[in-house]
Amino acid sequence: MSLSAWLRGAFPTEAEVRAEIWSLGARHLGSPLEGARGELKSPDLPRERAQLLRACVRELERH
């Protein structure tokens, strides 16, 4: 596997982040940032899910 292929799989895409932010807002009554932060506290969170949630937090904090 090439480095570029590995990196593409290691980070969520912009579309995945946008979709997850929308889902977080729906699940957490319009508070996606607080929802993402809360879900990140889960002790059994899979690595890929944690990466996606951290990407959501970064995106939401930028705006």
For 39, half-sphere exposure in the C-beta direction (CA atoms, 13 angstrom radius) is 26
In this prediction, residue 5 has a pLDDT band, given cuts at 50, 70 and 90, of: low
Kindly list the distances between the CA atom of residue 47 and the CA atoms of 11, 16, 42, 51, 52, in Å, as whole numbers in the listed order.
11, 15, 11, 6, 9
State residue 44's pLDDT score.
96
10-40 pLDDT tens trace:
799 999 999 999 999 999 999 999 999 999 9
Name the average pLDDT for the chain: 91
Using the predicted structure, report yes or no on whether residue 3 has a pLDDT greater than 90.
no
State residue 18's pLDDT score.
98
Report the distance separating Cα 60 and Cα 22, nearest Å. Answer: 11
pTM for the model: 0.84
